[in-house]
A and B are shown apart, each in its own frame.
Chain A
Amino acid sequence: MLVVTRKQDESIVIGNEIEVMVLRIDRHAVRIGVRAPRHISVHRKEIFEEIKRENIAAAASQVVEITTLKKLIARPEKEDDAKRATAPGCEKSDEPKQE
């Protein structure tokens, strides 16, 4: 890992297109600005890692029957429909859209 010392308002440049700037330094946190082209995605690492783990878990969770899942998510839908039926003029704004 390359290690450099930077002060507030100083930056480093990565390649030709990416700039990382130190915007503010507090006692326990550093505020960083990143300027990068649109196709480069920039994320907080812990969120990135968490999403990776969630994807891997999702890809593996395929043992449950679809019918079981439908039952799990179907219940509140029916209750909602019942409520709507007694409340005329209530729009079904959260119905699934067909794409």
Chain B
Amino acid sequence: MKIQNSIVGEVEFGEGDIVTFSEGMLGLPDYKHYVAIESANLKPFLRLQCIDEPSIGFLTIDPAYIEAGYKDYVVAQDPGHVLIDEPEEIMLLVVCTVDEQGTNVTANLQAPVAINHRTMTGRQIILLESPYRLRQSLTAGARRREA
């Protein structure tokens, strides 16, 4: 199978690469199948690309790039979801948003995406009462969460 758009170019993927989000991403419940695309071009970003609709996709980043202890925090907090039962199988991604001017990029640390590599299922988690922000800036001088 192939997906093609201006961000990822043309990418070939197999059945085993498809991650199923049974509830979709928050706000986009109808789109349930994604592939996480890593490439030298995108690095350090990954494109979480919907394969049901090529125009839908998220620019994401490994939260370890932003905040070292983040995954431990999410696993420890365990927001009540089954995905966290196998922390070693989970890859966390956070969704990035670029403003209209293209001068600021923020990451949503309040609602990380958890992908289970063994079951190839994904779910967006909402952290309750966390110190992390919905819009953590990744641009100059603002990369780390303020204490």
Contacts and interface: CB of A to CB of B under 8 A. Distances in A.
A28 B142 CA distance: 36
Interface stretch (A6-14, A15-23, A51-59, A82-90): A51-59
Contact of A72 (B97, B111, B139): B139
A5 interface: no
Contacts of A63: 102
Interface in B91-116: 91, 95-100, 102-105, 108, 110-111
- Bin the interface of chain B by size: 35 or more
B110 A73 contact: no
Contacts, number: 117
Given A43-B126, A47-B126, A55 B81 contact: no
**Chief secondary structure at chain A's binding surface:** helix
A48 B95 contact: no
Contact of B26 (A52, A72, A94, A97): A52
A75 B56 contact: no
Given A66-B7, A72-B138, A97-B64, A54 B97 contact: yes
A59 B58 contact: yes
Interface of B: 5-7, 25-28, 41-42, 44-45, 56-59, 62, 64-68, 79-82, 91, 95-100, 102-105, 108, 110-111, 124, 126, 128, 134-135, 138-144
A97 B62 contact: yes
A96 B27 contact: no
Contacts of B108: 51, 54-55, 58
9 contacts: A38-B80, A54-B108, A55-B108, A59-B56, A62-B59, A66-B7, A72-B104, A75-B139, A93-B68
CB-based closest 7 A-B pairs: A52-B27, A96-B65, A64-B102, A97-B64, A58-B97, A55-B27, A61-B98
Contacts of B105: 69, 72-73
Given A41-B80, A66-B7, A69-B45, A51 B138 contact: no
A88 B142 CA distance: 24
A41 B27 contact: no
A73 B57 contact: no
A58 B138 CA distance: 14
